Structure 1
Amino acid sequence: MATLQEIADWYQERAGRHCGHSDWFEITQQDVNAFADLTRDRQEIHVDPVRAADGPYGAPVAHGFMVLSLITFLTDSLLDLEWSEVGLNQRLDRVRFRAPAVVGCRVRAGVTVVGARTRPRDYLELVLSIAIETEDGAVVCTAEQTRLYRAMPDAALPRFPVLEEEPAPDAHV
């Protein structure tokens, strides 16, 4: 059984280390249209393939905020969260939209641990640097995400499926 401080120390010892990459996720027109409907952002560059073909990218692109909203989905597979009973997205910092995510492309997230510390009410604050990239290596979005987790009473120390020695290029912004 691990204490919250031991879990925080475990992550802090890994600060600056890259955790690997998520599985690929395809950006579909259906998903872009659903996001446009939900957010009421129906610009033709997103939802009209014919008109978007004449635009700056030659095809429809995902909303930047749609790509940003995929961060938790893409990165959770890289973190062993079995020790946690609840997780909350607390904040995003240093968000940058660097390249378009053209409909039909596949994206994945790379994660680097920035740091961790205990917080009031028995929560762990975990800060991650995230880079979302396409298959051709273009970095679509970068951000620093802060999450809060509460450990289960019988929590064990976490582990990563992949832990690389060097941070990913352009991952920390």
Structure 2
Amino acid sequence: MPEAIALSIPIEDLPAYTGRAYGPSSWLEVRQQDVDDFARVTGDRNPIHVDPEAAAATPFGGTIAHGLLTHSLVVPLMAEVFEVTGASMGINYGLNRLRFPAPVPVGSRIRVSGVVDAVDEVAGGYQIATTVTWEREGGEKPVCVAEMLLRYLR
């Protein structure tokens, strides 16, 4: 397994990191309790997520994580491998693209890696576009791919 690349970037140096890769993060297990909590908060109680018996009868063979839960796990995973220092704050500015090419079966482990695609100056700081890929341990396809926009302000 390749060694993880963790980027800790001073905000003023962000433009120089265009094209740089980071990750992978450590593995994180997606538990049924996480899925149930997400379902409770969002109201998405689709049986493929919260009913093991019903989900067992689907092509997935068991419960799977919500796609948006998988995406939201970027926060703790990316924090391990991507940091901008000297910023007064960093915010999620949005997404240009989000796809879920494969499911995340409950009990499986995921991790993230990414590439800084672009860095643009904005009022008070920088906006980066970064393609982040979530993989499932033992999986053949990514479970999530997102082009995320992040802003870091001085």
Taking structure 1 as the reference length, the TM-score comes to 0.78
Partner of 2:27: 24
Which protein is bigger by CA-based radius of gyration?
A: 1
SS at match of 2:84: coil
Partner of 2:82: 79
2:112 maps to 1:109: yes
1 CA distance for matches of 2:29 and 2:18?
A: 30
State the 1:109 CA deviation.
0.6
SS at match of 1:104: coil
Partner of 1:147: 150
2:37 maps to 1:37: no
CA contact (8 A) 1:11 1:115 kept: no
SS at match of 1:80: strand
SS at match of 1:73: helix
2:133 maps to 1:131: yes
- Measured against aligned partners, the alpha-carbon deviations of 1:97-133 in whole angstroms (never above 9, x if no partner) come to 100000000000111111112101x121111110000
CA contact (8 A) 2:14 2:126 kept: no
Letter in 2 for 1:57: F
Letter in 1 for 2:132: I
Taking structure 2 as the reference length, the TM-score comes to 0.87
SS at match of 1:84: coil
Partner of 1:15: 18
Structure 1 runs, 4 residues or longer, greater than 6 Å off: none
State the 1:71 CA deviation.
1.9
SS at match of 1:108: strand
Identical residues among aligned pairs (%):
35
1:95 corresponds to which of 89, 95, 98: 98
2 CA distance for matches of 1:80 and 1:143?
A: 18
1 CA distance for matches of 2:92 and 2:78?
A: 12
Total equivalences in the alignment: 144
CA contact (8 A) 1:25 1:108 kept: yes
- Measured against aligned partners, the alpha-carbon deviations of 1:58-109 in whole angstroms (never above 9, x if no partner) come to 0100011111112233212212333222111001111111000000000001
